[in-house]
Amino acid sequence: MIQENVDITRFTTFGVPARARYFAEYSSADELLKLSRDMRFIHSPILHIGGGSNLLFFDTFDGLVLHSNIRGMVRYDKNNHETYAIVGAGEKWTDFVDWTLDQGLAGVENLAGIPGEVGASPVQNVGAYGVEAGDVIFSVECFDLFTRNIVKFSAEECSFGYRDSFFKHEGKNRYIVLRVSFRLTPDTRARHLDYGPLTALRDSLGHDPSIREVAEEVKRIRDSKLPDPALIGSAGSFFKNPVVHRGQLGEIKALTGHELSGYPVGKMHVKLSAAWLIDHAGMKGAKYGGARVYDRQPLVIVNTGNATAHDVATLAQQVRDAVRSKFLIDLSPEVNYIDSKIHVTMLGTGTSKGIPEIGCKCPVCTSPFIYDKRTRTSALIRTMGQTILIDVSPDFRQQALAADISHIDAVLLTHSHYDHVGGIDDLRPYCAVRDLPIYTTADVEADLRKRYDYCFKENPYPGVPTFDIRRFDDRPFCINGLKIVPITVMHGPNPITSFRIGDFAYITDAKTIDEENMEKLRGVRVMVRNF
């Protein structure tokens, strides 16, 4: 069932060449269970793909790529007001929407024309024109890669957010979607007409639109703005519409002179149009290599025929830089960067006092060489589209400015000595939209809560950094699907946590390592130790 060295470009929509070291398709949970017992499955990174409409491959994926071929759409009528549709993860989303129209079931007509497969709908919480998949999903049946059991999640347990879900975070690379159950309404009348161009549909038709008329209008609008992936490679919308605090809009106007408006999200936030921001930042039609910002919809980056992943990523960064420069807003990609390489930036490699040490006249501290000018220890890891910070030194502000760190997905802490956590307060720019996840042990968490108590109060002072503390022990854990192996080393009598990510290990302040933890380092190809 498992093939080797497979070209998987056909499973993506960008048209950028993509390969996998291993590849397998399955048509049932039993076939997936059998696959999960294969040694190539057990010892390889796993990437599950659907229609590939949100993936950008940078190189051969050095692991196992899985694709679902589970099909089937079944209708269950509970009563005259409620119908459930159970759909296989391998069904095309467009086929499912068309099926609901034929069945006279309302709920997903606003989501017509979205590329991809049904299994991706709860993961991405796909949405358009005022409706999200999470609005109509009742439950999601999954295969648990850790226990090899079939489990079911309710809509509430999926923690749906804007283009977000549980499956993008704690559940990533652990749960594979098998089937999705949707709760729909047996009715041909459309209900969601209060977003964007659909607001004028009732007047233009002269009557209340049907679900089929809404679906046709949505597809017409999409076709007028978005390229056909069969003709022009793209991933659809490349960027998420940014959600900002209402207070931030006033700051932006004061600093830039630009008055921005958007769609209300709750009481305190506003969703802005990323397309408008990109257009008014002057990036519509911008090019880099074989990649171009689409002329008819600046949310889209297209492959003009020979684009590489580097072309696309570079252009995307240029777009983000332009928007940030003009509007002070950071756009987040909706596309997942698939790069199994691990990029490490040593932000600081100095001792606990830094080099040079204040007041010291030794040959090193008075040396003119740049290598003798070192800030205290922090490291930045970039892999699989994520940016992870290891430790937050007292010099972090200086390091972040020098390295132009605009986004951090998570922080790993090795221990609570000041030279490793003294820059905690400088993380506040990365907490503007959400609490920044910090992964640490229980004892380090206790120290942080005492030392930085103002960050953890029930009603913190506006502007202070706020964190989502996530504890780990000596067992492996995942950050957005990225496997992290904690390794305990000893600094005299004090335990310090080091980390292994793939075949890279980061070890700090180690004087001794016992045999059990040495075993966790077996097969490591690159190790950073005692910086």
Strands 410-412 and 386-390: parallel
Please give the full DSSP string across 117-178, using - where no structure is assigned.
BGGGHHHHT-EETTEEGGGTEEEEEEEETTT--EEEEETTTTT-BTTB-GGGTTTTTTEEEE
Tell me if 276 sits within 8 A of 241, measured CB to CB: no
**What totals of helices (H) and strands (E) does the chain contain, helices first?**
13, 32
Q: Is the Cβ–Cβ distance between 277 and 327 less than 8 Å? A: yes
- Give the Cα separation of 323 and 327 in Å (integer): 6
d(CA 128, CA 334): 14
> What is the C-alpha radius of gyration for the chain, rounded to an integer number of angstroms?
25
Indicate if 406 belongs to the active site. no
Catalytic residue (choose from 163, 179, 320, 376): 163
334 is catalytic: yes
First to last CA, the chain: 45
- The three-class DSSP label of residue 81 is coil
CB atoms within 10 A of CB 357: 14
The phi, psi pair for 27, rounded to 5°, reads -115, 0
**From 334, 376, 393, 498, active-site residue:** 334
Catalytic annotation on 519?
no
Closest to 439 in 3D by CA, of 482, 419, 410: 410
Rounded distance between C-alpha atoms, residue 163 and residue 50, angstroms? 16
Q: Which of 44, 121, 234, 237 is catalytic?
A: 237
- Bridge-partner residues for 248, per DSSP? none
Q: What are phi and psi of 311, to 5 degrees?
A: -60, -50
> What is the set of active-site residues?
163, 237, 334
